[in-house]
Structure 1
Amino acid sequence: MREPKWRESGEDPDYRFSLANERTFLAWIRTALAILAGAVLLEEFSTKIGPHWVTVVLAVVLGALSAVLAVVAYVRWRANEIAMRERRRLPLTVAVPLIAAVVLAVAAVLTVLIAIYGR
């Protein structure tokens, strides 16, 4: 595999920081996979709550969030690596409030559906 251009700039960070950054990347990927599993579970087994189209929309939203998080995980990992190489502050991320907002919205809608249609 060809080494990316950005790895030629700055100096190599302490390997412990690079490994910690990699573990963080993997945690984001696990989160994306868990959200995707929730989307599949919701669509597959939500026969008793609300109109089916609403649960399908919620599942699609969760699936899209999962895909976005997978991309954000890589972008964030790369940005952190570059910042460490150039001895800059680590960049902020929009992923945390994004996850919180989407999961809050889906949870709120599901709670209402369960309260209305649940048996």
Structure 2
Amino acid sequence: MALRDRVGAIMEPRGQVIPSTPRGMFVTFEGIEGSGKTTQATLLVQYLRSRNISVLYTREPGGTPIGDQIRKILLNPENQDMAKLTELLLFGASRAQHVQQLIRPNLEKGVTIVCDRYADATSAYQGAGRALKEE
């Protein structure tokens, strides 16, 4: 499989289908900085826990030890000259680790996952915001 196809499968919402189990769901909150994503995600997690529903809060980029290291690289102001493609691939690497290590195994156990940002944010910020074409 070509690198382009692999990145597309990770980065595109259509390409990365993560099925929910009958008991678990995969819920994402998307929006610009300061729009209330984290607040709403936290409220949902609290509500589900009050109903004794097994739920896990996570975020992107990050969510795993490797993802958190990648997040530090992405958010470090010293890296403002990072190439657009490098940034995209780092987001993809973080997501691949997140799905493999945290999201998929927990969904398979029936845990509901609440994620602060996911593929829509990548499409908006790296696709439209960074003007990366589907090449």
TM range (shorter): 0.3 to 0.5
TM score, norm. by length of structure 1: 0.35
Q: Structure 1 or 2: larger helix share?
A: 1
Query: Larger relative CO (CA 8 A, sep 6+): 1 or 2?
Result: 2
TM score, norm. by length of structure 2: 0.32
Structure having the higher Rg: 1
